[in-house]
Every structure is written in structure tokens, then in C-alpha cells.
Structure 1
């Protein structure tokens, strides 16, 4: 990155830099992979580029469908320009199929297709290990207003309808995904962060015998191997379809 741009923030998978326009930022996607709140770490050459390109195509799709996002344009293969937003410290997880922590914390069997999408909200706080949080606790901590929270939940449900249909078209089952939102300088709520196999659980629908083949970060989480191959396959299917 050009030295004239200042590093604002470095997260587990991205670096955020200043832009010539104070209302914009430059987001550079890293090749780092982390799991279990960064207890497990590795680097995969080309991962940042794939996540950036996949996120770009999905943000463009959502913008066409009138979803407000921070995405503005692709700068290069692993860098995008986005609206500067103040991230709301909540992670919104939508689940279409039971898997992972939901099955560990409840009696619901893994792989159960849920009758309606379930939204779990987590406090974005590494020190507390991103705990599951209730609406009442969000109000108690004065994180955002009840009205803004309802807006975010409604938006997440709309995004799910768009993404579920889109991924089905490219033979992928959208099991669950994590979203982050933020306020722009005019206090509008925008979808932020990224939408990629890093924060979406995607299963290959081309498999026979109900075999689960993950094409997402579970390949790293569960030591399945082939992470770059899986991400490349998703990128290929998106480009073939759009």
C-alpha cells in the first residue's frame, strides 16, 4: 500500500487505510486465516485476493437489490474502496441450517434445516470471546436503539433471501453467515465488512448421498485441507453465473 495512506485499523483478515476522501477508506484483504477467536492461525497465498473478488461480486449483487452497503468499487484484486463507517460492535449471525455452536448449545441435531431463519447476535468483543447477547442486554449497554436493531434484523432477513437464492443458483447451500453493520457520516446504517467463504458457511449441492462438502473456512477450522481450492471454486462459479 502506498505510504501516503495511513493504516487506521488492522483486523484478523483485513487492513483499513485512509483515502484521499475523508468519507472513504481503502480495505486491503490479507492472506491470513484465523479460527477460534484467532487461537488458530495460518497464511494461504491468494486467499485475500479471492475473498476480495468474491465480496465485490456479492456486494454488487446486493446493491442491485437495493441493500445499503459500504462497498464503492474494486481498486485491485485484493483491495476495495468503501464508505467509511463506524462499525456497530455486534455480529449478526443468520442460520438456515443447524450446525456448529447452535448444535453444541442446544438439542437441535446438526444438519437440521430450520423452519425459519434464526438470528443470533453476538457482542463483538475479543476479550469477552464474542458472547451471545440478548436484545435486552443490547438496550442495557446502549449499543444501538431498538429501532436501529430492528432495521438491522429486517435487513439481514432480506439479505438472506437474496443470498440463499443466489447461492442455490450456483449449487451452494447457504448454511449460515455473519454480518456486520455500521453508521456512515450521515447516520445511515450500511452493511460493512465482507461477504466471503470466511464468514459464510457454504456446502456443495453437487454432492451425492447427502455428503457434506464444505467450501468455506471450515476447511481450515476442521483441518480438511484444500481451502484455496474451495474458495477458487466459489469464485469460479460466481463468475460463470454473473
Structure 2
């Protein structure tokens, strides 16, 4: 792979900065130490968080790529930089729930910890200004965000990702409760997994711990003021690197 030169900032989100490079088919993503929750109403700086999320995501992307899952990932450069293919992100967040937790239990009469079989797949309109609302079939059709064929492709890819992640995290001694992903279209029109896979986007429990709070190894530690956020992310990283290929270096 050829070296690259960092270009101007294209976009800055809650947890990452995206830069252009001197290659049209490569963008550079910087993982930040910022922690946010409740649509950025709660914020903090957690030293080391960006580096951990970058490494965890790279490890997971390597594993998924080896299993035939299409992603935007190209490699890493340094501790908190990832190189990816540019994609047109579809403004839909896909959430898959394997176990009932969080907001689902507040919105429906389902007890926390209830296994969901088959896993529940929900689509949300990705827009902070509107609070990322749930998309019903009628709302999705009204907005015209995707065609029925594209929607089916999105759901099929999301379910494939879920199957692969369930296997990966089980091997790592972790329980994948739920997660959210973003998908995008490459310059050639290929549908791929984008953004990141990390404790910021996945709800992960320690499979060997029974206590409802002690087992949490994800962003809920920040949401619920449980402390030990970076330490929990470090534990996830340690376990995931034991079952995933080492991230490739881009440059």
C-alpha cells in the first residue's frame, strides 16, 4: 500500500475526525478521547479512549474481512488513526438487539436481560436534531431514504454482521447484548460496513460476571457514572485481540 499525505478536515463528529488525503480513494479517521452520552448532553475527556476504540475497531474489522464481510477499513497508522475507503453514509442507524436492555426496556414491557430470538432489528433516522427517531416502514417510505431492495440489503448485511460478532465476542468471553452500526456506499456503489465497532457502539457484558453493574464493559459505564470506563475498554481490547488478526498497517 502506498503512503499518504493528510489533507483538510472533512468532518468532525462526537468521537472522530475525518480527514481527506492525497488519495481520492482513502480518507483518514482520527479517534478522539471524547466521551458523550444522551445526544452529547453529557460529555467528558477520557485519556486513552480513542486509542482503544481505534484498536478494537481495527481488530474487529480484520476479523470481519477475513469472514467475507465488506467494510470500509484499509488499515491503521499509529495508535489512533485508521485509514478507510470513502463512503456515502446512508443516514440510517441499524440497531440489533440480542438481549433486552437499555431504552428497549423503557419503551416496551420487556424485562432487562430477556433473550430476543430472533434478534430484534430496528432502523433509526440518523439526525441528532430530531433525536435519531425510530423509523417505521411507513416513515421510511415517506422519507425515501432507500429503496425496498436497498433496505433488504441493509438488513441482510446487518444480520450477517450480528452473526459474526456473536461468534467473535463469545470466543472472547463477552456477551454481545446489542449494537448499532452505520452502513455506506463506496464510490463503486458497494454496500459496506462503516464507522466503528467498539464499546462505544456495542453493549458488552463480561460472560464470567453475574453482577449487573460489574459485568458492564461498554459505554454504559459512562452513562451510568459507574467509573472505570477506560479500564473496561482495555479489558475488551485485551480479549478481542486474542481472537482477531493483528491490524494491518497502512502506509
Task: Provide the TM-score with structure 2 as the length reference.
Answer: 0.93
**How big is the shift at 1:4?**
5.1
Counterparts of 2:191 and 2:137 in 1: how far apart (Å)? 18
In structure 2, relative to structure 1, the CA distance for the partners of 1:114 and 1:7 (3 Å cut) is: same
**How big is the shift at 1:22?**
1.1
- Which residue matches 2:73? 71
Unaligned runs of 5+ in 1: none
Counterparts of 1:164 and 1:174 in 2: how far apart (Å)? 6
- Which residue matches 2:230? 228
- Which residue matches 2:102? 100
- Which residue matches 2:248? none
Q: How does 1:36-185 map to 2 (within 5 A)?
A: 36-185=38-187
- Deviation sequence 1:144-170 (CA, Å, 0-9, x none): 111111111011111111111110111
**How big is the shift at 1:206?**
1.2
Query: Does structure 1 conserve the Cα–Cα contact (< 8 Å) formed by 2:7 and 2:21?
Result: yes
Give the number of aligned pairs. 241
- Deviation sequence 1:24-82 (CA, Å, 0-9, x none): 11000000000000000001001000000000000011111111100011111100100
- Which residue matches 1:188? 190
**How big is the shift at 1:207?**
1.1
- Which residue matches 1:19? 21
Query: Does structure 1 conserve the Cα–Cα contact (< 8 Å) formed by 2:72 and 2:192?
Result: yes
Q: How does 1:196-235 map to 2 (within 5 A)?
A: 196-208=198-210, 213-235=215-237
In structure 2, relative to structure 1, the CA distance for the partners of 1:58 and 1:3 (3 Å cut) is: closer
Match of 1:28 among 24, 27, 30: 30
Counterparts of 2:144 and 2:122 in 1: how far apart (Å)? 18
In structure 2, relative to structure 1, the CA distance for the partners of 1:195 and 1:4 (3 Å cut) is: closer
**How big is the shift at 1:208?**
4.0
- Deviation sequence 1:57-115 (CA, Å, 0-9, x none): 00011111111100011111100100000111000000000001111010011110112
Farther-moved stretch of structure 1 (156-165 vs 10-19): 156-165
Unaligned runs of 5+ in 2: 245-251
Query: Does structure 1 conserve the Cα–Cα contact (< 8 Å) formed by 2:95 and 2:123?
Result: yes
Secondary structure, counterpart of 2:167 in structure 1: helix
Task: Provide the TM-score with structure 1 as the length reference.
Answer: 0.96
Where relative contact order (Cα < 8 A, 6+ residues apart) is larger, the structure is 2
